[in-house]
Amino acid sequence: MKVTHAKLLAQVPLLTDLPTELLESLAKSCRFEQVNRGHVIIERHDTTRRFFFLLSGQVRMLDLNRQGQEIALAILDAPTHFGELAVIDSLPRSASVQATTRCEVASISPQDAEKLIYTVPQVSRKIMQNMATVIRNNNLHRQVLQQQSISNRLAAYLLGQLPKDIDPKETVCIRNLPIQYDLSILLGTTRESISRALTTLVDEGLVTKDGKNLYLNDIPGLYQLLEED
């Protein structure tokens, strides 16, 4: 049973490459849970400091602005980890983490988390690399939010999701587009505005929607839009 748990943990990128004995000992100190869609795993401002591994499912990280509106900081898909900020700086939780699907999570105590993060060199290095990615993505997202119109914010967000080195003359598919609610809180607006902005981009022939896939038909046209802002 614990072997299965260790194998589950080994799929989390932060823990891949760890020696089997370390994974097995980590699995023994983990608390494993299934949570339903909508369940709040971490409450913003809480002083809890457990460290989490998302083994299956998807979560959103949520903050509130000063007007009490939810804003999404990120959407995370399994397998991944979350909750390291409070472990590292001992401050209250910076964001709420809510399951957007049924999720399987494992968590360890703050003491075990500190030991893992600070004393296992490949984990320290990956935590730093991961935080570097978060900082770089934040800088990109800041540019998205500086766009005045919502359809331009959406265009900037979509362009930010493109893989590197695509051919801008081709149609590119963005799979698993977040639902309109998540897009609205990622882009600092309402679901209605996202719906209108999406319709605008579709009407202008820039994108085509097909279920959870969105096709960008005219990448130069989307960039053009941003230059007109």
Binding site for a second copy (CB under 8 A): 63, 65-67, 71, 73, 84-85, 88-89, 91, 94-95, 117-119, 121, 124-125, 127-129, 131-136, 138-139, 141-143, 145-146, 156, 188, 223, 226-227, 229
**C-alpha separations of 100 from 31, 88, 140 in Å:** 20, 26, 24
**Residue number with CB closer to a second copy (188 or 221):** 188
**Residue number with CB closer to a second copy (55 or 150):** 150
Token reading at 126:
């990956």
Q: What is the DSSP letter of 214?
A: E
Least Å distance, CB 56 to a second copy, is 25
Token reading at 104:
């399987």
In angstroms, the CA 58 to CA 76 distance is 6
Cα-flanking dihedrals φ and ψ of residue 120, to 5°?
Answer: -105, 105
Contacts for 133-142: CB closer than 8 Å, 24+ residues apart: 134/74, 137/74, 141/186
**Neighbouring-strand partners of residue 40:** 98
Least Å distance, CB 136 to a second copy, is 5
Least Å distance, CB 52 to a second copy, is 16
Nearest to 31 by CA among 52, 56, 48: 52
Least Å distance, CB 189 to a second copy, is 9
**Residue number with CB closer to a second copy (160 or 205):** 160
CB neighbours of residue 159 within 10 Å? 18
HEC profile of 135-153 = HHHHHHHHHHHCCCCHHHH
CB neighbours of residue 195 within 10 Å? 14
Least Å distance, CB 68 to a second copy, is 9
**Residue number with CB closer to a second copy (146 or 171):** 146
Least Å distance, CB 91 to a second copy, is 7
Token reading at 178:
């977040």
